[in-house]
Amino acid sequence: VHMLSKSAFNALLKTLEEPPEHVVFILATTDADKLPATILSRVQQFFFRPIPTEIMTRQLMNIAKKEGFAIEEDAARLIAERSHGGFRDGISTLDQLSILATPDQPLTANMVTEYLGLSDATMLGNLLDSYPSDDNEKVLNIFQELENSGANSVVVLHQLLSIARNRLRKNPNLVGLVQQLIEVDRHPHPDLKLLTIFMNSNSQPTEKPIAPKKNIAQATTQKPTEKPTSIKPAEPAKPTEKPIEKEGKPAEPAKKLAAKPKKTDAPLELNWEKVIERAKEKSLGLASLLQKSQWSFDGEKLTIYAGSAFYKKKLDDAKNKPLISEIISEEAAMDLEIDIIGEKKPPEDEKLAEIAELMGGGEEVKLEDI
């Protein structure tokens, strides 16, 4: 369809409007959306559904038998699964693999796995069996084996989804894992994202990423309240020695004490989603930059990790920097110190930092944010 010009479509339209009596015209295409509406309105449309894996498996085995070579059922099923319901792709793959079969040696699942660049199904099954567990060493070893074998992270992801889908009936607890795996394909670093999913699952029972944030924020807000309590016994002692000389001096510590607790009005948490929504009302370009950035907030200071020097320069320019301060002030109900850094946010967990360094960089993603 993509090769037909406008003149060709006009000629086809005339043929459809005045068809010969002895002709039945059939047009099969996977790009029906590229056909002009004038042609679509003059034809009957039949939409073909994807062929089920079991039906395609049997058909591929019948084709192999008629072509004079043998194929194992597991091998035919692998080809069918990788064809995603399309007979054309399945038959094409079978034709290419037929040269590996001999009269004494049928086409095996291992041959198909190696040819298609797939990972060992047993290894991936062991990886799913380890979810969730406390055996971090086992998870790291499996991923190391996958990396050494040259496995593609996206192909591994699709295999994991296929195996997990088949296991859902027996193990409904895998629903949460499947929901996380679906999002991996959109991640800029799918290999690191896969690793963190299985690593985070192992540490989930003993470690929750959000809880430490609240504790840290509470600890920072407690510091101003601890200082007045330590100052109060010391400051009144001085006025008692000279109560008459200068009456204005005792008021100064009172002002300091009154000024410092204002920091306790700082929000314990900053809702970044609301910040982005406010930014969209003022500047879509700024909202897009903030959406790509990472951030951290300790109750008094907001640090924005732009990810690169280019994005830092954009956020720091004379137009965006005042807008950011205005938006943050509106959301936090007070003025905050804002620091923009032209790097990615470093992982909070030391183990994840080591993994990211080992794999040449990456981004820490918490399960609650998915």
Give the model confidence (pLDDT) of 332-358 as tens digits: 777 888 889 888 887 766 666 666 666
Confidence band, pLDDT 50/70/90 cuts, at residue 80:
very high
pLDDT value at 58 more than 70: yes
pLDDT per residue over 115-138, tens digit each?
888 877 788 887 787 777 666 777
Nearest to 331 by CA among 261, 292, 281, 258: 281
Q: Would you state the pLDDT for residue 52? A: 92
Reading the block at residue 99, the tokens are: 């040269």
Q: Give the residue numbers spanning the domain of 179.
A: 121-203
Same domain, residue pair 129 and 108: no
Distance between CA atoms of 83 and 316, rounded to whole angstroms? 49
Question: What is residue 95's predicted lDDT score, i.e. its pLDDT?
Answer: 92
Instruction: Return the beta strands (E) in the chain as ranges.
Output: 294-297, 301-305, 337-341
Q: What is the mean pLDDT of residues 242-254?
A: 46
Region 159-181: mean pLDDT is: 82
Per residue in 283-333, pLDDT tens?
888 888 888 888 888 877 888 988 888 888 888 888 888 888 888 888 877
CA–CA gap between residue 264 and residue 261 (Å, rounded): 5
Q: Which residue has the tokens 């280019």?
A: 310
Q: Is 112 in the same domain as 128?
A: no
Task: Output the pLDDT for position 363.
Answer: 59
Does one domain contain both 82 and 135? Answer: no
With vertex at residue 284, the alpha carbon angle to CA 281 and CA 289, rounded to the nearest 5 degrees, is: 120
**pTM of the model as a whole:** 0.43
Please check whether residues 163 and 178 belong to one and the same domain: yes
Give me the pLDDT at residue 63, please: 94
pLDDT score of 48: 85
Judge whether 281 lies within some domain.
Answer: yes
Position with higher pLDDT, 259 vs 27: 27
* Whether residues 132 and 198 fall in one domain: yes
d(CA 345, CA 60): 50
SS3 (DSSP) at 71: strand
State the average pLDDT over residues 172-181. 82
Burial call 237-260: b when 16+ CB within 10 Å, e when fewer: eebeeeeeeeeeeeeebeeebeee
Q: What is the pLDDT of residue 366?
A: 56
How would you class 161 by CB atoms within 10 Å of its CB: exposed for 0-12, middle for 13-18, buried for 19 or more?
middle
pLDDT at 64: 92
Domain check: are 30 and 96 in the same one? Answer: no
Q: Which tokens sit at 352?
A: 């994840």
Write out the DSSP string of 240-256. HHSTTT-SSTTHHHHHH
Number of domains in the chain: 4
Judge whether 362 lies within some domain.
no
Asked whether the predicted pLDDT for residue 82 surpasses 70, the reply is yes
Enter the DSSP assignment of 263: G
Per the domain annotation, does 187 fall within a domain? Answer: yes
214 located within any domain? no
Instruction: Dig out the tokens for 317 from the structure.
Output: 């320019």
At 295, which CATH number? 3.30.300.180
Q: Is residue 259 part of a domain?
A: no
Is 85 contained in some domain?
yes
What gap in Å lies between CA 356 and CA 370, rounded to an integer?
A: 19
Give me the CATH number covering residue 76.
Answer: 1.10.8.60
Query: Between 245 and 326, where is the model more confident?
Result: 326
Tell me, what's the pLDDT at 230?
45
Neighbours of 307 (CB within 10 A): 18
Same domain, 307 and 341: yes
In a domain? residue 46: no
Tell me if 86 sits within 8 A of 50, measured CB to CB. yes
| Same domain? 74 vs 108 | yes
User: Facing residues of 340 across strands?
Assistant: 304
Give Cα separations from 98 to 69, 72, 75, 177, 341 (angstroms). 7, 12, 12, 37, 56
Is the per-residue pLDDT at 256 higher than 60? no
The reply to whether 358 falls in a domain is no
Task: Tabulate helix, strand, coil % of the chain (nearest 5).
Answer: 60, 5, 35
